[in-house]
Structure 1
Amino acid sequence: MVEGAATAGSLRAMFAGAIMGIYDREYYRGETHGSGWLTGLAPATKAIIVINVIVFFLQPMLGHELWSHLVASSDDIFRHGYVWQLLTATFMHEGIYHLLWNMVFLWMVGREMESFYGTRDFVALYLSAAVLSTLGWAAFDTFLGHNGTSMLGASGAIMAVVVVYAMYYPHREILLFFVLPVQMWLLVVIYLAHDAYQLIAQPSSGIAVASHLTGAGFGYLFKHFDLRWSRFSWRRVTRPRLRLISPEPREKPTTRPAGPTWSPNPATTLKPSTTAVLPEELLDAKLDEVLAKIAREGRAGLTEEENRVLQEASRRARNRRSDRI
């Protein structure tokens, strides 16, 4: 028996109406250019969707033996050491609706999550969730003694991304049946409640709900404890902190000036209440560094000082526009 990671037919039908909703909102329409459904997607999100589609159409050519080595089997993973199945099973799907269901949800939430975290951290989130959700299913399958079953599908990994999205934007609405607005947090609660019920009442239902729940749990931990890969990178540890300092020699004034107050220690980082007066050229250079970091790691990886650089650059840009008016 193959345990596809798709949901039950009735629940699938209910959520199918959610394909609209998020992408019917103004902030998505404003970011989309062109008419293709992949247009405007962040690179990793697009690559994951394309890889899944290509693999799906290659599956009939694999042959049974190769196919059985790529889908997840708890017996193969724990007894024979086929650890690659923890990842390869995520890129395989049981049928066209199984593939479509998973890719639509990734299409809905993946772009914004990748833009927020940056490509590297988003890929780390997705692949880590893929491995852990498959491992969670394999452990539960072994507990039940179903060592001859197999599992495939991206639902566990996508569930992690959806949970992270819902934690950031719990009150964003999607349209069930294209009519009924439902907030993201409620959608996730309904989905998880359904899976939890099936896990308890129908553990042999043929749906890999243990994978869904493991992925959701990892998504919660990822957001709650900020488990971004870039936080544990050696480059982040060794990279010197960005400091806003005055280009002029600092001397302690005898009287309190009307302008900004500088620390007498040149190496001291400015307090949040202090506004750094930087030459335009120095601010532009620091702004370039911050924008390059956002492109690599996403806005979530910025330090307090780097956020102040953005705020100061934004303030000066507004002032220049006001002067022209």
Structure 2
Amino acid sequence: MGPRQIPTQPFLGGALPRPGKALTALMVGLLAIWVMFAVGINWGGGGEDIFGLLAGNTAKIVRHGQVWRLLTAPFIHLPSGDGAVGHIVTTLLGLYFLAPSLEKKWGGKKLLAFVYGAALTGFVLQMLVELVMPASMAGRTTNPLWFGAVGAVEAVAIAWALSFRGQQVMLMFVLPVSSTVLVVFVVGMSVLRLLASKSTPEGLFSPFGAMLFGWLVGGGDPAPIRRWWLQRKLRNVQAQKRTVARAGAPKLRVIEGARANRDSDNPPDKRWLN
């Protein structure tokens, strides 16, 4: 069954998506972690120190070697404040409505690896930009801590749109739009936030790294990075074939004799032989 034949389930037919086991476990895990920190920080009077140790921090990772922050940052979301509920709900709804189709197409393990890889790629880009950005500009456009999986959800949106071209999705769960419009909306919103310098928990730059990952790894069938690998492998095989053909060519050749010369239209001139 081709990618366009796989039912997306979610939006126009009335049936809600049915996440598989892997996606369900991911969503339940993210929600459970958020609830744990929200209850602990807002009602239990503790947990802020642990949350701070799990969140990404460029200076701590680079200067103090706290690499685990990069690995744990995608799993935590804003536990308190005005945008706390919206942060986790946006992540869960994005995964719920877009990821089930990819899970059916790829399988649960690949989907989980894709989501995690997209989040890590986004945070790596966030770190690199913060390292090269002047300190005066970094203070206005970046937060000390970055965390969350919204960037990974944007990567899922890119992969879904490029894998299921021509299908529709309910934008903001209300407006039906094509896959192309979804790509324009997702990329455009990240650009607008960057231009407005509107800080987000994930950082202003991590969504671009995540979306790039989404295009390279999930953008079609085959994806661009797999297409490049297959073309490179084909070129290597063709080069090896040419090398073997040259090495196996016969080293002896036939030299034409007098009979061949006699039968030709221009026989050799023998006047100078005596």
Quick one: which of 135, 148, 155 aligns to 1:153? 148
- Which residue number in structure 2 is paired with residue 168 of structure 1? 163
CA contact (8 A) 2:193 2:199 kept: no
1:62-99 deviation line (CA, Å, top 9, x unaligned)? 52221111011111121112222223111111111110
Equivalent residue letter for 2:162? M
Closer, same or farther: CA 180–63 of 1 in aligned 2, 3 Å? closer
Name stretches of at least 5 consecutive residues in structure 2 with no aligned partner.
1-7, 41-45, 79-83, 231-274
- Which residue number in structure 2 is paired with residue 57 of structure 1? 35
TM-score with structure 1 setting the length:
0.55
- Which residue number in structure 2 is paired with residue 185 of structure 1? 180
User: Mapping of 1:12-51 within 5 angstroms?
Assistant: 23-26=10-13, 29=15, 40-51=18-29
CA contact (8 A) 1:87 1:130 kept: no
Quick one: which of 75, 85, 90 aligns to 2:74? 90
Closer, same or farther: CA 192–47 of 1 in aligned 2, 3 Å? same
Q: Aligned-residue CA RMSD in angstroms? A: 2.6
Report the Cα offset of residue 192 of structure 1: 0.8
1:193-238 deviation line (CA, Å, top 9, x unaligned)? 2312432x344x212231111110011010333559xx9xxxxxxx
Count residues in correspondence. 198
- Which residue number in structure 1 is paired with residue 125 of structure 2? 136
Report the Cα offset of residue 177 of structure 1: 6.1
* Mean Cα deviation higher: 49-58 or 83-92: 83-92
- 1:41 is paired with a residue of what secondary structure? coil
CA contact (8 A) 2:157 2:182 kept: no
State how far apart, in whole Å, the 2-side matches of 1:113 and 1:83 are: 30
- 2:166 is paired with a residue of what secondary structure? coil
User: Mapping of 1:284-323 within 5 angstroms?
Assistant: none
CA contact (8 A) 1:102 1:154 kept: yes
Q: Which has the larger radius of gyration?
A: 2
Equivalent residue letter for 1:141? E
State how far apart, in whole Å, the 1-side matches of 2:183 and 2:75 are: 23
Equivalent residue letter for 1:74? T
CA contact (8 A) 2:171 2:182 kept: no
- Which residue number in structure 1 is paired with residue 50 of structure 2? 66
- 1:182 is paired with a residue of what secondary structure? strand
TM-score with structure 2 setting the length:
0.65
User: Mapping of 1:162-241 within 5 angstroms?
Assistant: 162-176=157-171, 180-199=175-194, 201-203=195-197, 205-207=198-200, 208-223=203-218, 224-225=223-224, 227=226
- Which residue number in structure 2 is paired with residue 77 of structure 1? 61
CA contact (8 A) 1:44 1:123 kept: yes
Report the Cα offset of residue 132 of structure 1: 1.1
- 1:151 is paired with a residue of what secondary structure? coil
Equivalent residue letter for 2:104? S
State how far apart, in whole Å, the 1-side matches of 2:63 and 2:50 are: 18
Closer, same or farther: CA 50–178 of 1 in aligned 2, 3 Å? closer
Closer, same or farther: CA 41–177 of 1 in aligned 2, 3 Å? closer
1:123-175 deviation line (CA, Å, top 9, x unaligned)? 21111112111111222233333486111110111111111111011322223
Higher relative contact order (CA 8 A, sep 6+): 1
CA contact (8 A) 1:195 1:209 kept: yes
Equivalent residue letter for 1:96? V
1:49-71 deviation line (CA, Å, top 9, x unaligned)? 00110000111425222111101
State how far apart, in whole Å, the 2-side matches of 1:45 and 1:86 are: 22
Closer, same or farther: CA 161–178 of 1 in aligned 2, 3 Å? closer
State how far apart, in whole Å, the 2-side matches of 1:132 and 1:176 are: 25
* Mean Cα deviation higher: 188-197 or 42-51: 188-197
Name stretches of at least 5 consecutive residues in structure 1 with no aligned partner.
1-20, 232-325
State how far apart, in whole Å, the 1-side matches of 2:188 and 2:102 are: 24
- 1:150 is paired with a residue of what secondary structure? coil
- 2:169 is paired with a residue of what secondary structure? strand
- Which residue number in structure 1 is paired with residue 269 of structure 2? none
CA contact (8 A) 1:155 1:211 kept: no
